[in-house]
Amino acid sequence: MANSETPLLDELEKGKWPSFVKDLKQAAGKNPMARDLIHQLELSYKDRIGHWKHGGIVGVKGYGSGVIGRYSDRPDLFPNVQAFHTMRVNHPTGWFYKTDTLRKLCDIWDKHGSGLTNMHGSTGDAILLGTTTDHLQSCYDDLSNAGFDLGGSGSALRTPSACVGPARCEWACIDSLDLCYNLTMTYQDQMHRPMFPYKFKIKISACANDCVAAIARSDLSVIGTWKDDIQVDQKEVLAYASSINIQKEVCDLCPTRCMEWNGKELKIYDEDCTRCMHCINLMPKALRPGKERGASILVGGKAPIVRGALLSWVIVPFIKLEPPYDELKNLIERIQDWWDENAKSRERLGELIQRLGMRVFLKAVDLPAVPQMVKAPRTNPYVFFWPEDLKKEVK
Amino acid sequence: MPQIELAGKIYEVDEDGFLQELDKWNEEFAQAYAHTEDIEGPLTEEHWKIINYLRDYFAKFGIAPMVRKVCKDNGIDMKKLYELFPTGPAKGACKLAGLSKPTGCV
Ligand code: SF4
Ligand code: SF4
């Protein structure tokens, strides 16, 4: 076999799963930027250090975010990636595209950039990888004429994202798509013109299965839920008894053990149910979410960068969500104001709450502590006392 | 290192056009550079107010202020700030003020 120029990357082509190296090599056949990118990456693996310089500030007119500057630190070796900026394009809510829309997007990117895309980045945006400074404005103009807009980057509201919800999924308790679109349109300014101490992410899942991983990744998570009882069809439950072990797989794995199965009938003690979706996932024909639907609001999730990862925690157990969503928007703005006013540079909301305390946070955004605000289910209610409350008690 | 020539003088800048030798900054530099940041005509008093504010802050603290602080301390809102500097506070205003490049997060 001829000696490969990229022996380290070639390892990543082995196996039967998709490989970004294969994709890159294919792109390298028609685009010199992609070619240099592969070779720079190989060198990075060899040297065990990334060969991008730190940071870069480029942009398009009127926008403080949406474009991320990237420069090679070895332009002598890889002149075609000397500048390799990323553009973030706001994805359609729920990631529904028509094929001709995708073609249009790719055509624009073939014209202005490397042709390489990342569909989609962890924020949700369609990410266009690699272009030069002089192409930015004209690429943006073409995108804009085709009906696209840039997403958020830097210390801004990042592009909100949502699960496919009611478009495809029977478990949706809220219209995640409509809410996501509505918030995106309402907060255009916060997305395009970074003004916060750091990034702020909003993600919406229409049920507790949390398909967009909102709880792990967003500063503000909206999770669809219900208030009344799970709807049970006992006949269908019985039908499941022949294919699954209801006691072992459903009841015993219920996190709050709030179900009883006597071989004929399933009894759910709904007052102890935390709406985790486990039983419904296993017996979709027999069980459905209740009828009185809305969402829980959680805050504070983030991936580790400066400090460790945080999962978001419940601050509003139940809120009805119907357009124009004023109650939610009002809450979001109160939270952002407090964060904006108090955070240090690059401090995420969850970290600020940890630093100043949940008690201070709840008071500042005017939320009463209730038992359903739990960090670990049923163990850790957020009930705090201020010195003046204690005095009242003594009298 | 790229160089640019403005009002008859040569300056060293980085690849994004940020001034490298901070002590070389002068008002002619800012004025002659303004058109690359989509500012038409001469810089106004409002522009200078922001530019001088940024320079003072940078001299004191060694970093660029947070955008919210810029707005608050100068009594303007984001919309106004983008009207003055269409390419944004980080890219446009800091560049004209001769601050070293703010390290943006991706
Ligand atoms: S989060 Fe729930 S409603 Fe949304 S797609 Fe997943 S299972 Fe369906
Ligand atoms: S939704 Fe979860 S907590 Fe509620 S009954 Fe089903 S398994 Fe138990």
**Complex confidence, ipTM:** 0.80
The pairing of strands B3-6 and B9-12 is antiparallel
Look at ligand 2, atom 5, and give the residue with the nearest C-alpha. Answer: A273
Rg (CA), chain B: 13
Which of A207-211, A370-374, B20-24 is most confident? A207-211
Mean pLDDT, rounded, of chain A:
92
End-to-end CA distance of chain A: 89
- Report whether residue A283 contacts ligand 2, using a CB cutoff of 6 Å: no
Better pLDDT: B2 or A287: A287
Better pLDDT: A80 or B106: A80
In this structure, are residues A226 and A293 in contact, taking their beta carbons and an 8 Å threshold? yes
Question: Which DSSP helix (H) or strand (E) runs through A297?
Answer: strand A293-299
Domains of chain B are: 3-96 (1.10.10.370)
pLDDT for A2 equals: 58
Mean pLDDT of all residues in B59-78 = 88
pLDDT at A360 exceeding the cut of 70:
yes
pLDDT for A220 equals: 97
In this structure, are residues A382 and A314 in contact, taking their beta carbons and an 8 Å threshold? no
Which of A54, A53, A46 has its CA nearest to residue A75? A53
CA of A159 vs chain B CAs: smallest distance (Å): 13
Mean pLDDT of all residues in B85-89 = 90
In this structure, are residues A362 and A384 in contact, taking their beta carbons and an 8 Å threshold? yes
Read off the pLDDT of residues A33-47 as tens digits, 9 standing for 90 and up. Answer: 999 999 999 999 999
CA of B7 vs chain A CAs: smallest distance (Å): 23
pLDDT at A185 exceeding the cut of 60:
yes
Given CB atoms, is B100 within the 8 Å cutoff of chain A?
Answer: no
Mean pLDDT of all residues in B7-14 = 89
Amino acid (one-letter) located at A305: I
C-alpha A191/C-alpha A174 separation (Å) is 24
Cis peptide before A85 (omega within 30 of 0): no
Which of A385, A370, A216, A220 has its CA nearest to residue A304? A216
Read off the pLDDT of residues A57-75 as tens digits, 9 standing for 90 and up. Answer: 899 988 999 999 999 999 9
Closest-lying ligand 1 atom to the alpha carbon of residue A207: 2
Residues of B marked as catalytic: 105
- Report whether residue A209 contacts ligand 1, using a CB cutoff of 6 Å: yes
Mean pLDDT of all residues in B61-78 = 88
pLDDT for A376 equals: 54
C-alpha A329/C-alpha A337 separation (Å) is 12
CA angle A230, A235, A238 (to 5 degrees): 95
Better pLDDT: A368 or B27: B27
Rg (CA), chain A: 25
In chain A, alpha helices (H): 7-10, 20-28, 32-47, 99-112, 136-145, 176-186, 188-192, 214-217, 234-240, 278-282, 326-342, 349-356, 358-364, 387-394
**Phi and psi torsions of A318, nearest 5°:** -150, 130
Mean pLDDT, rounded, of chain B:
88
CA of B27 vs chain A CAs: smallest distance (Å): 22
- Report whether residue A282 contacts ligand 2, using a CB cutoff of 6 Å: no
pLDDT at A3 exceeding the cut of 90:
no
pLDDT for B105 equals: 40
Q: Three-state DSSP class for A310?
A: strand
Among chain A residues, the shortest Cα distance to B103 is held by A55
Contacts of A229 (CB under 8 A, 6+ apart): A268, A270, A290
- Report whether residue A205 contacts ligand 1, using a CB cutoff of 6 Å: yes
pLDDT for A41 equals: 97
Which of A200, A266, A37, A62 has its CA nearest to residue A129? A37
pLDDT for A320 equals: 96
Largest CA distance in chain A: 89
CA atoms within 13 A on the CB side of B66: 19
pLDDT at A106 exceeding the cut of 50:
yes
CA atoms within 13 A on the CB side of A334: 14
pLDDT for A92 equals: 96
Question: A48: buried, middle or exposed (CB in 10 Å: 19+, 13-18, 0-12)?
Answer: exposed
Read off the pLDDT of residues A114-167 as tens digits, 9 standing for 90 and up. Answer: 999 999 988 899 999 999 999 999 999 999 999 999 999 989 999 999 999 999
The shortest CB-CB distance from A61 to any of B15, B38, B66 is to B38
pLDDT at A375 exceeding the cut of 90:
no
**Residue B104's pLDDT band (boundaries 50, 70, 90)?**
very low
Largest CA distance in chain B: 38
**Residue A389's pLDDT band (boundaries 50, 70, 90)?**
confident
Mean pLDDT of all residues in A179-199 = 94
Q: What percent of chain A has pLDDT over 90?
A: 82
Mean pLDDT of all residues in A171-186 = 98
Better pLDDT: A309 or A253: A253
pLDDT for A72 equals: 96
The pairing of strands A202-205 and A161-162 is parallel
